[in-house]
Structure formats: C-alpha cells, structure tokens
Amino acid sequence: MELKKSPEADLEKKRIPLIITGLLFATAVVLVAFEWKTFETEIRNLGELDLDLIEEEIIPISQQQPPPPPPPPAPTTVIEIVEDEKEIEEELIIDDMEIDESTEIEFIETVEEEVVEEQIFTIVEDMPSFPGGEAALLKYLGNNIKYPALAKDAGIQGTVFVTFVVDEEGNVKDVRVLRSIGGGCDEEAIRVVESMPKWTPGKQRGKPVKVQYNLPIRFTLK
C-alpha cells in the first residue's frame, strides 16, 4: 500500500525559512546579551542620585559632673626600723656576778613602826576628880540639869549611867550613855557632862594618863 503524504505536512518546503528564523532568533539573543550589560550600567547610573543631606540638629550632650574626690587617707605612722648593726647610744651595762657557796648576800630588813595607841585606864593610883571634889560635882549637876518635859509628863524617873574619858589635860571626851531611861533624860545627861569644866586628870606612877570614868545621874520627880 503506497503512503500518500499530505502536501501541507511536507516540511521540506519550510526548512529554509525555519533555519533562517532560528538564525535570526539566535542573533537576537546574542545582541540582547550584549545590550544587557549596558542596560545594567545605565540602571546603576540611574541609581546614583544626588541627595541633599539634611543636617541633623545637634543636641548637646548633657555632661554629668564628676563625683567629688575621695578624702585623703589618714597619715600613717612611720615606724623607723633600726638595723641590728646600728649602735645604740645608751646601753644597759650589767655587771657579771659570779655566785658560789662563799658569796654572802646581804638582806636589808625594813622594820615597820608600830603605832602604839595610848592606853585608857579604868583604875589608876590617883583617879581624876571634879574641881572642888564630889560635893562640887553634885552641886553642878543639881544646878545645870533640867528635867525633860516629856519625862515629867510621862512620870519617867531613874538613873542614867554615863561614861566618858578624862584625858591627860583634864578634858572630858567621848561621852556616851551606858544605861538609859528614855524620855529625853539621856540627851540631857550627855549635854550636862559635855559642858563640864576641866577635871583634875588621873595619874599613874605620877604621870597624867587617860582614865575612863563612869558617872550615875539620877532624875527624880518631886
């Protein structure tokens, strides 16, 4: 069976036009490739625009004041170090002492002075006496004692025993009550004794001494 080809499907007639069309397309592609570089250069040149730069407003920077300087350090004490080789002007000289069995050591004993208190006698050869004797003493007491009002109102009566010291000069000292009856009689007895005149001092072996003397004073209501 013989194949019949359609004249419209015959490509031999269109081969030459297709080859020319291909060459033209290839030439166009090459030209476009060369023109593409120039195009990029122009685009780059278009991108270089002259822009007027706007000067930015300069804001002054606030400067912070530096902190005050720290206080100066306290002065340190300088310790002077003396070298061992340096000679010291003042030296303690110690005498070498050899002590053996024959060496005698002298001890100095200090004797403390004893304070000897003067003795107060209770009984001596010559007892102290009131000026004028015992009768003058009783008269003195009768004239100078004032009966306390409290004791009188309370009906208090009795004997107050008073003790005192007659010193070497006959002065009456250290008056105190040995036995009291109250009501102000004790205070009155002390007052009268302290106001006594000087006594004749007591003597022991002919020398005046201190003597403790006891005196009863009677308070009686009449």
Give the pLDDT confidence of 7-29 residue by residue, as tens digits: 555 556 667 777 888 888 888 77
pTM of the model as a whole = 0.48
pLDDT of residue 18: 77
Beta strands at 207-219 and 120-121: parallel, antiparallel or unpaired: parallel
**Token pair of 31 as six digits:** 């030209």
pLDDT tens digits for range 39-72: 444 445 444 445 444 455 555 555 666 777 777 7
List the domain boundaries for the chain.
Answer: 120-219
Determine the average pLDDT of the residues in 166-192: 94
- Strand boundaries in the chain, DSSP class E: 120-121, 158-166, 172-179, 202-204, 207-219
| Sequence-distant (≥ 6) Cβ neighbours of residue 4 within 8 angstroms | none
pLDDT at 95 over 60: no
Tokens standing for residue 61: 């920077």
Name the least confident of 45-54, 75-84, 121-130, 172-181.
Answer: 45-54
> Looking at residues 149-172, what average pLDDT do you find?
94
Q: Supply the pLDDT for residue 57.
A: 54
**186 burial via Cβ count (<10 Å: 0-12, 13-18, 19+):** buried
pLDDT at 32: 75
**By CB neighbour count within 10 A (0-12 exposed, 13-18 middle, 19+ buried), where does 130 fall?**
buried
What does the block give as tokens for 127? 């007892």
**Length of the chain in terms of residues written:** 222
Topology of the domain comprising 120-219:
TolA/TonB C-terminal domain (3.30.2420)
Q: 148 vs 77, which has greater pLDDT?
A: 148
- What is the rounded average pLDDT of the residues 163-187? 94
Contact 211, 121 (CB under 8 A): yes
Contact 211, 124 (CB under 8 A): yes
* Residue 77 pLDDT > 80: no
Instruction: Kindly tell me if the per-residue pLDDT of 200 is higher than 60.
Output: yes
pLDDT at 88: 52
Radius of gyration (Cα) for the chain, nearest Å? 73
